[in-house]
Every structure is written in C-alpha cells, then in structure tokens.
Structure 1
Amino acid sequence: MALSLETAVAHVPRATRSCHFEPDIVEFNETVLAPHGMRFDPSYAAGGGNLTFLDLAEGALRAAPRVPAPDLLIVAYALPDPHAPEKTLAAHLGHVFGGRSISFAVSEQGLGAPFTALRIADAYLGSGRCHSAAVLILEQTTFPYPEPFVQDGDLVDSAVLLGLGSGGGWQLAGLASAGPHAGLAALLDEPPGLPGGRDAGDRLTVTGSWADPSGTGPAGPKAHRAPPGSYCTGVWLEFARHHAEWAGNYRTIVVGDTDPRTGTSHVATFVRRETAAGSGDRPGERR
C-alpha cells in the first residue's frame, strides 16, 4: 500500500490582524535577533497580515471537508513565525484532531520541507506506524525585522492541507532531491517512482516559480508553472487547486521546484490509483 491524496485544500487568506506583540514575544525575538546584529522593529510588520501559523492552519482546516483524525500529523514550513513562538503548533493540532496522532514539525529545509514531510510520512507507512497522514504546509510572511527575501518578493500568507490515506485518487509514487550540481531538469527527465513504459504524454509537470523555465522539460499544455508569491507553498497550492481536474487528462503528475537560497531541487511523483498497480506497492525514492 502507498499513501494517496484524499483531501487537498489551498488557503490564501485575505484577512489581516493588527500589529501587536506581547512583551514576552518582543523579548524572545530580540534574544534571537541580537546575535545576528539585527533589531526588533515592529514597523516592518505594521502593514502585513500578522497572521500566525495557528491562524493559517485553522483556516485550512475550516476550508476542508471533514478530515478524519490521522495517525500522523506533520507541520511543514520554510519561514518562521515570530508572532507565536511559544505555540507548539503540531502538538496543539494533534489535540484538535483528538489526541491520538503522532505529531511534529519539519523546518530548516527551505522549500524542501513539504517534500521531506512526505518522505517521512512514507517511511512511517512503511514501518507500519501509520496508515493515514495529514501534512500542513504553512507560510506566514510578516516579520518585525528586515527580511528582504520575503518583503522584496511580495510573498503572501498561505497554507496547504494534504490529507493522505489509502482511498485517494493520486498515489504518492516517489520522491527525489538533488543538489545544484544536478539540477531540477535531471529529476524531471526521470521522475522517481514512474511506472516503466509510462508515456510522457500522460504526464503533467508542475513546477514552482523559483524553477528555471529553461530546465524544466518540454513547455506547452503538459507543463504548469505556479505563479509567484509563495516560497515553499507554491507548487502545493497549485496541486491542491487543480488535482481533480488534472485527473481527467493525466495519469502522472510530477511536482518539482528549486530552492533559490540553496539551489537544491526536489520532486514528488503522483500517479492515478487505477494506473498505479504496475508501479508496485511502495514508492520509489532517490536522493
């Protein structure tokens, strides 16, 4: 058995909160910033959304159909949340789901965090420790200090919920990563876990806005590029929004992006369940 997509939600809120930091949050941020020669300055956050990870996660859950309590709950993010560092979000959400989920967060991976979360979920499945998983990919974009990558890039708050189990339409078939020396093109040329003999005409390549368009395979109707405005959520927002309509035209979706900060590329392969039998019961994986 392999995990397959049962629920997918893309959440890009329009709501904003007023800029306010409690004294203990100010102290925490100042302590974190000081060793780097940076200063806490709430004026940088005054015009932003000031949404917390909790706000984004709850918004995604509200937008979702009923999601059964998963065996495994993973929160994945690339950018920190300076508004609520005291909140252990994964544990809190585990409690919301009824308290039986194994829960933790994946960070310090750049835009690779969601791919790492899926790799971990697959490993838990393989070990017999879970049969269902929920991956929440969160990106908040308001910082009380200069963060040019976010502020100059006009990134927006966003969240994606991926509910994975045994009864979904898109089965996770494989995951792979490669350093700058290899690049995304090589991963897309031979997607991990792709069943032997699968014609490229049945395949859609979904790439993020950070990927080099010249190195992402053939252009045209069989390639879809995420718009700018997101860092680690971009390709997953598109997958969540369009996976149902893509099922009518493709048997394989390959999701990939390149982290602009490290040059590391990541891909994940999904195959329609009715065509997944030939790929074996377990996803393929390369590193």
Structure 2
Amino acid sequence: MALTLRSASAYVADHRHPYQRDDWLVSYQQDLLAPFDVPFDEKFLKQGANIGFQELAERALDGLGERPEPDLVVIAHGLPDHYPFRSIGGHVDKLVGGGSENFAISDQGLRAPFTALRIGNAYARSGRCRQAAVVVVEQSTFGQDEPLARDGKLADSAAVLVLDNGSGRWEVAAVPPAGHLRALLRDTVEGEHPLVVAGPWTDAEQVAATGLADHRVAPGSYCTSLWLDLARHHEEWADRHDAVVLCDTDPRTGRSHAALLRRRDTEGTT
C-alpha cells in the first residue's frame, strides 16, 4: 500500500542567532572549499542567521501539535547544514521517541524530497514501514558566497510530512524520474485533473500550457518550497481537487522533478 499524507507542518524562521566563532567550523569550511578553488570568507558566517538543521526540524515538529511515532525518519536537504558535525536523523529520532530507522538524503539538490518520498513508498510497500516522517530542511548561512542565499533571498525553513499506510486524504501515487518539465507534466497528469503546484524555479509558460489549475509557490526557498506550501494548504486542496502534482525545476541542473498525490475519498480519513 502506498503512503498517505497524515499530517504536515511548515516552519519559516524569523529570527537569527549572533555569530560565535568556532575555530573547528572555520577550519572545516576552509578545507572543504579549497579543492574547488572557492574562497572562504568569514563575513558570510557573521552575516548569516546561524540557524542549524536541528533547530529547524524541532520547530517544524512542534508545529504538528501531536508528535508522530514513525518507524522511518528521512531527512532531505538540498544545501548543507550550517554546522555539519551534528546528526539530524538521530536528533529527530530522539524527538519522536527513538527506535526509528533514520538517515538523510543530500547532494541531490531540490530532488532530495522527491527521493525521500520514493524511498518511503518503497519501505511501505515492502512492509518495512508503518509510519514515515519526511523532514525537509534548509538554512541560509554558508562560509562562501552562495548564489541561492545571496542578498538574504533564502529562508531558514523546514517542512515535516507525516505519512502512514492509509489514514490520510492524499496518497503518494507516483514519483517519476527526473526529466524535462513539459514532458514530465504531460506524463504525470495523464488521466488526471489535478492542481499543479509549481515551484518558484519552474517555467510559468510550460505550467500554463497544461491548461490545468495551478498554484505558484512564492520565491524565497530552494529545496523546501513545494513542501512548505503542501504543509500549509493540503487540507484545503483536498476539498477542491482530486489530485495534486508538485513540480519544480532545479536551477543548478535544469532537470525537473514531480510527484503525484491522489486524493482518497474514504470514510474516516483525516
């Protein structure tokens, strides 16, 4: 059985922490960037919000009201953590009671949450997952000039999706391989009449060419964008649409990604 969306939460930080120099972090950043001839500049750390993944994940979990009890926790991020020496999956596991299988998906850009959904569905179909928590995190403090975070254009944010084997209204119906946006939309919406939820990096003309109702995600995030809006609006979308296609195009690769959620009209769902 495919996973269904039981509950979700979105968090966007509106605060920052003062910079406290950490010699170990500075040394790590310098060593990390040097092989790629990317200059390290401590001013970017001083200017940043200095909010890490652990805090963002915790704030998003608090927004759920009732803590889930997942047996699978998947962290997804397209950009690295501000402080890379902490375990995020283990921290989330502790917050939800412990005992889950947990890991992170990284180095895939904004594809990471789509991969997380695909993995979660595979676990559920094989009987290894009763409930999954997908935690998408993104922070804006780097030791170099990061174009996606330049001029304060990247929010420190997190979204939590709690998925289980049947109590939610939205079923994760398909997560197709990456491709070109036009073809991906055509193939994903075939036979469906969904709301197309388009990330800020998608081509608006290609989305409009589908002739379907669409919701445009506002700029300000990279990997978390679609999932923040899904967390905010999934209940109202379920009252108006029988399917949702979430799609975005990674500005770094030009490759597009999509996921189809199909509404389940079953008595007793929440």
The alignment of Structure 1 onto Structure 2 pairs a total of residues equal to 265
Partner of 2:64: 64
Residue aligning to 2:30? 30
Question: What are the ranges of 5 or more consecutive residues in structure 2 without an aligned counterpart?
Answer: none
Pairwise CA distance, 1:178: 2.8
Kindly provide the CA deviation profile for residues 204-241 of structure 1, in whole angstroms up to 9, marking residues without a partner as x.
Answer: 00010100111124478811110111111111111111
Question: Could you tell me whether the CA contact under 8 Å between 2:54 and 2:91 is conserved in 1?
Answer: no
What's 1:285 paired with? none
Secondary structure at the counterpart of residue 98 of structure 2: coil
The DSSP-based 3-state class of the residue aligned with 2:20 is coil
Q: Is the 8 A contact 1:72 1:134 kept in 2?
A: yes
Equivalent residue for 1:206, pick from 194, 197, 211: 197
Corresponding position of 1:216? 207
- The answer as to 2:261 corresponding to 1:264 is no
- RMSD over equivalenced CA pairs, Å: 1.8
Contact preservation (8 Å) 1:189, 1:217: no
Deviation per CA, 1:122-171: give whole Å up to 9, x if none: 11112211111000000101112211232157111111000001211111
Query: What amino acid is the match of 1:234?
Result: S
SS of alignment partner, residue 175 of structure 2: strand
Equivalence map 1:24-103=2 (5 Å): 24-81=24-81, 83-103=82-102
Q: Indicate the residue corresponding to 1:191 in structure 2.
A: 188
Q: Within 5 A, what are the aligned runs for 1:80-229?
A: 80-81=80-81, 83-152=82-151, 154-165=153-164, 166-179=166-179, 183-191=180-188, 197-198=191-192, 200=193, 203-218=194-209, 222-229=213-220
The one-letter code sitting in structure 2 at the alignment partner of 1:15 is H
Counterpart position of 1:247: 238
Amino acid at match of 2:115: T
Distance, in Å, in 2 between the alignment partners of 1:78 and 1:26 is 21
The range that moved more, 23-32 or 240-249, is 23-32
| Aligned-partner residue type, residue 116 of structure 2 | A
Deviations 1:74-131 (A, max 9, x none): 00000101x3211011122212222210000000111000000000101111221111
Q: If the length of structure 1 is used for normalisation, what is the TM-score?
A: 0.87
Code of the residue aligned with 2:40 in structure 1: it is F
Q: Distance in 1 between matches of 2:150 and 2:105?
A: 23
Contact 2:217 2:229 in 1 (8 A): yes
- 8 Å Cα contact 1:5/1:164 also seen in 2: yes
- CA offset digits 1:7-66 (Å, max 9, x no partner): 111110101101123221122112112212234322113232110011111110111121
Local SS of the residue matching 2:188: coil
Paired letter, 2:183: A
Deviates more, 1:24-33 or 1:67-76: 24-33
